[in-house]
Structures are given as C-alpha cells and as structure tokens.
Structure 1
Amino acid sequence: MAIDEALGAIEAQLQEEGQRVLAAVHGAVRALERRDGELAGEVIAFDDEIDRLFLGIESSIQSTLALQNPVARDLRLLLAILHINLLLERSADGAVTVAKLSQLVAGVEPDPALVEVLVEMGERAEEMLRVALDSFARRDLAGAESLVELDELIDRANRRFVERLVDVMVDPELREWGLRMVVAARTIERIGDRAVDIGEQIAYLLTAQFREFEDASHPAAPT
C-alpha cells in the first residue's frame, strides 16, 4: 500500500473514532440530564469499541512507520494523529466517568439550575470536539484556533456552576450529589481542554510549529 493510501486509511479510522467519542459524550450528558441509568450503561459498555479503535489506530501508525518511509510532512501527520488519537480516547474515558456519576446519583432529586449548567457545559464540549474533528479533516487553521473562544464559553459556564454550587451545598441532602457533580463538571471541562489540544495538533500539522493556544488552561506568559 502506498503511503498516501495508508495515511488516508488511518485518517478514516480516526474520524470513525471521533464520531464514536462524540456519541459517547452526547449520551453521557443526556444520561445525566434525564437520570437515565440505561443510557449511562450503554455509554459505559460502548467504551470497549472506542478502545478497540484507539488500539487499531496505534497499530496502523506503527505499521506505517515500519513499512513506509514518511517524509517530514507525512511524519507530522502521523505524529498529529498519534496525539489526537490519545486525546479522543481520553475524552471517551471522560464520557464514561460522567455516565458512571449519573448512575451513582440517579436516585437523588437534583438541583435543576446546576444540572442546566452542566448540560450546557456538556453540549459545548461536544461542539468543541465536533469543530476539532471537522477542522482536522478540512485542514482548517482558523477553525482550530476558534476552539479557544469556544473553550472560554465552557469556562464561563463553569464559573456559574461554582456560584450555584455554594447554595446547593447548604442543603445536607444534596451535599454528596453536589460533590459528585463537581467531578462531572471538571471532567466535562477537561473534554473541552482536550478539544483545544487537538486544535494545537492541527496547527502543528499545518504550520510545522508547535505552540500552545492561549486560553484559561494555557495563559500567555508574563512579559
């Protein structure tokens, strides 16, 4: 197989994995919103398929490196895919964490305002992953860079989450639930951060220079 064909096949595998991860994040957020234990269970079980795709991509990259002679441009693509593959797999793990948390609190009457913010964060994280995958497929640097602004929206929602959490934790019956939702919020926020990391890999692929985007996770260095 020519290297262009091999790279195309690996990219197709990566996009398939990406679509599965999007579905997992979507399902986890819906399960949390609806207190749907069955849907949460499906997200958890589905993770095995994502792991299979993750390992398959790693194997394909190793085979291509061993059997082909990639030039600098092709090598950058393989390295970018290697990193993005891991970031997607970790995002899927985050979806599993949210799904498991939703199962643990399924019997608790939640605070609607806090759940609303969590759902907003989850939907934005899903959108960010979608933009990242589309930007990679289209080699769209501007799209990749737009992830910083989208991440700021998650950070703003997270600040509203913290403000509401202060009131929720006053209720002793909601304290344990609230603590679990803190973990859910942090997990969702990390999914957004990983989408930004994917954007950085796209920029590296297109410019041959790695740089961290400036966002809440990667602030500008002091001058």
Structure 2
Amino acid sequence: MTQVLDQGVDRFDRPRVDKFEARRGELADAALETLGELGFARTSLREIAQKTAFSHGVLHYYFRDKVELITYCVRRYKEHCVTRYDEIVAQATSGDELARLFADALVDTMLADTAMHRLWYDLRSQAMFEGELRPTVVDLDRQLEAMVWRVVARYAELCGVGPVVTSVTAYSVFDGLFENCLIRHLAGDGEAAERLRSQAVWLIGSLVRS
C-alpha cells in the first residue's frame, strides 16, 4: 500500500518539479549576462531584476538569494560544458584529431561564453572567503578535472603511450592556460585565441610520454 501511494505522489509531483526546474533554468539564463558583467560582489537579485524582464519577487521565489542563483547558473553551464568535451573524446579517431578538436573547443567557448567563464573564475576566487560557495566550487572543480583527464587519457591511448602527470596536474596546467588567455582576451589581446589554440595542442602532447 505504501509503495502504491509513493508511486502516486511521484507521478503527480514530478510535472510540478520539472516545471519548477525549467523556470529556474529560464531565470538563470536571463540572469547570466548581468552576472557576467558585474561579477559576484556587485550583483544582487534586485540588480538582476532591474536588468531583466523578471521582478525581484519572482527571482526571490525561485532562488533564496544571489548565492543560490549564481551557483545554480555556474553549475548549469559547467555540467553542460563537460558533456561537450566528452563528445569530442568519443568522436576523435587519432591523437592529432583529438588535440585539434579539444583546442578548437577551448577557443570556441572562450569567445562565445566569455561572461560565463569570467563569472566562474570570480566565483572560485570568492569561495576562498565565502564558505557557502565552497562546496559548489570544489564539486565543479572535480568534475572539470575529471573531464580534462578523460581528454588526456584518451589522447595518450590513441597515441599508444601513457600520461606522465596526474589528473590534478593536467587540469591545473590547462586551467591556468585558459584563464590567462581569457584575461588577455578581455584586455583586448587579439592574439589570445590563437595562442590558446596552439598552446593547448602543444600542452596535451607534453603531458604524455613521447
């Protein structure tokens, strides 16, 4: 009897849960531009409401505060980002092809999703001071580390060799390269994108045995 009741609740509640999450996603997407422009410290739910078509009351109904909204936005984007690179890993048939596709994807996302990446690095820095941000940042960092490692491990496999670094090191060097090129791109460096592309290809080759 309990099992029947539980199944009934699940059946009737799921559409409401799905609709609630869909609405949260819609609000998060609308807020991203403002968040990327102003950063964590200068953004409030009221500020976002003023720059979007949604009222402060609506935002506050779906998100407790700006921390919940910002972490939701970043998690939503980063988890989607992970699947993009997994598709590249599955698609590539040689080490050279994988290196090229990976480098192209890094450049594409730096140029197309600049505000989102700027927000991520801002959030990660703020997590050193804001304890409530730390669990999300640590979790996403681990997901991104695992994503980069899948690329490096597959590259090594396709080349018939093995990695010479740990997953933490591989993630750290790629993350450092990406962040540096992003900063230069934001500063108006017209060569930042091609530098990221060429250095990413070189870097992945340097992480495996020759």
Structure with bigger RCO (C-alpha 8 Å, 6+ apart): 1
Structure with the greater alpha carbon radius of gyration:
2
Give TM-score scaled by structure 1 length: 0.35
Give TM-score scaled by structure 2 length: 0.37
